[in-house]
């Protein structure tokens, strides 16, 4: 969970959900369900993102090694021996 990382479309959808949670329960006769709007409101205002972050593991491979085709290597060795 990271703050201020949510995209704008996610925030807009949370506000629509917030309006739905605030408006519908009083018409159904259960106005105390409108209290569920508070966490939705806070997540929209704070821009909370619930996406998982990638782990910070180090790579064990060699990222700066350039691999050349075998034909290039054979050509280079022939040029050296000539």
Q: What pLDDT was estimated at residue 11?
A: 92
Q: Which of 41, 40, 48, 52 is nearest to 6 (CA)?
A: 48
| DSSP per residue, 9-57 | HHHHHHHHHHHHHHHHHHHHT-GGGGGGHHHHHHHHHHT-B-PPPPP-P
Q: What pLDDT was estimated at residue 3?
A: 87
Q: What pLDDT was estimated at residue 63?
A: 65
Report the alpha-carbon distance of residue 67 to residue 64 in Å, rounded: 10
**Domain range list for the chain:** 1-52
Query: What's the chain's average pLDDT?
Result: 81
User: Percent of the chain beyond pLDDT 90?
Assistant: 49
Report the alpha-carbon distance of residue 31 to residue 35 in Å, rounded: 8
Condensed to tens digits (0 to 9), the pLDDT of residues 30-64 reads: 999 999 999 999 999 999 988 876 656 655 566 66
């Amino acid at each position: 969970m990271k703050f201020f990382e949510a995209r704008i479309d996610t925030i807009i959808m949370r506000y629509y959900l917030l309006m739905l949670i605030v408006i519908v329960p009083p018409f159904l006769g259960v106005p105390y369900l409108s209290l569920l709007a508070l966490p939705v409101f806070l997540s929209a205002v704070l821009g909370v993102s619930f996406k998982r972050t990638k782990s910070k593991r180090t790579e064990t491979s060699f990222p700066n090694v350039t691999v050349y085709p075998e034909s290039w290597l054979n050509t280079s060795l022939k040029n050296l021996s000539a």
